[in-house]
Structure 1
């Protein structure tokens, strides 16, 4: 049997990870496989125990709702995953240990690299959501000197998250519905500033309620970034473009984090020169 990796979650049928990794495996001609595996919360510990004993298993990507629950079941955590407090990639080390990693940070930042190479007077990100993906995004943006406005249904949870991830930062929290209605707030001159609006929640995902965000809350020149991948073009992004803002969709982060994980699983870098073809396949 060829060696394999997989993505686990509950639900899992919507995951595009098998298509991404499968595309790269095909392009490279590897004797390998990447699967999707439904794993419930009750079965997560048994899953880890079983895969630890499987000589053909190279690791897994971890999606909702297991990014935090899997952490105490692993043998080691890389420093970034420990700092973020969430694991989205598990790799079997040479000694057989299960090592938790976080490639969401690298994946989220990848499409922003050209922007972040520029100098800015001020950087601010309005982030919607307080789950495992939000933890990685907050950690990523704090490192890039962003001031965070974190919105969630539970403002105490949001405040606790900011205090955990950047206790010395001057960040802010807001209730989720704060951004739902139109505002006439007069933003100052944002030239030379960098503003992001990030949906780090499942809102807008197929089968979930839409995210109520009125784009009058976004300063001029903001970029709308939605990590939802089903659908790829969410109403959040459609409304952003309608209001004149540039956008980044969830495939950018998904492909970026998958690329970082692929090297850990299969020992070679993915062929990123085929990204345009990969996108076409994922959106077909």
Structure 2
């Protein structure tokens, strides 16, 4: 069965975006469904921004559809399509989930909790969190900023190509540091890449992390390839790392619970990550 198929007459969830071929979400959700001996499926579908409204309208007419995860470039768009949004989705102004509930469409954000969990892991490892740089100003960056604010982290500098958009974002989130250009030097303790740069099919991320502190760390939200050049450079320096694949699994676990009304079987994480290539 391919990633774009669903069992005839069976319940299913999916991930939508553009591009979508690189998504590992179907592998993750199908792995958990198999471990739980659950019927159902999880697939992927390429949806362009101008197709989103009609696509979602058609899906809501399907009683077997349990909802979808949403990836770039649709995370901001789906908020406007939903009948209501969760507190975290409202706080981020972006959602990575659409879920049908009793005739209404709910926008949710499981990215925020995943980011919070991985940043907390880095803190427990003794990594410094005083000054953080975030690359990007889109939906993923907004989720990162909500997570940082929830953890009490405010010394954050946004690096973005669109300085006006980045400045508005800094004001909205009450950041204490003025935004910078994407090309400006990276310093401080942590770096979070919340852009698609470095992802398969996108331009490479060209950045120097030599200015990060010795107790520093790098968190790359890109999940394909599994080890990005950014993560490889961080490991070479002995910095802490959190990968996009870890992020993907964490947010997928929260999504799985909502879609299939059962906890993901996390006892099998080692096997799952081996399958995914980490």
Fold shared by both chains (TM-score > 0.5): yes
1:157 CA displacement: 1.2
CA separation of 1:239 and 1:51: change in aligned 2, threshold 3 A:
same
The correspondence for 2:69, drawn from 47, 61, 66, is: 61
Q: Deviations over 1:92-112 (max 9, x none)?
A: 11x121100000001112223
Q: Is the 8 A contact 1:227 1:250 kept in 2?
A: yes
The correspondence for 2:234, drawn from 232, 236, 240, is: 240
Over aligned residues, Cα RMSD in angstroms?
A: 1.9
Structure 1 CA distance for aligned equivalents of residues 85 and 269 of structure 2: 30
Structure 2 CA distance for aligned equivalents of residues 283 and 18 of structure 1: 15
Structure 2 CA distance for aligned equivalents of residues 45 and 101 of structure 1: 17
Structure 2 CA distance for aligned equivalents of residues 258 and 120 of structure 1: 25
1:116 CA displacement: 4.1
Partner of 1:31: 39
> Is the counterpart of residue 209 in structure 1 residue 203 in structure 2?
yes
Gaps of 5+ in 1: 188-194
- The count of aligned residue pairs is 269
Partner of 1:140: 147
Q: Is the 8 A contact 1:262 1:268 kept in 2?
A: yes
The correspondence for 2:255, drawn from 250, 253, 261, is: 261
Structure 1 CA distance for aligned equivalents of residues 212 and 90 of structure 2: 32
Partner of 2:5: none
Partner of 2:60: 52
The correspondence for 2:182, drawn from 167, 176, 186, is: 176
If asked which structure has higher relative contact order (CA below 8 Å, sep 6+), I would say: 1
Please give the TM-score of this superposition, normalised by the length of structure 1. Answer: 0.89
The correspondence for 1:70, drawn from 69, 74, 78, is: 78
Gaps of 5+ in 2: 1-8
1:41 CA displacement: 1.4
1:118 CA displacement: 8.6
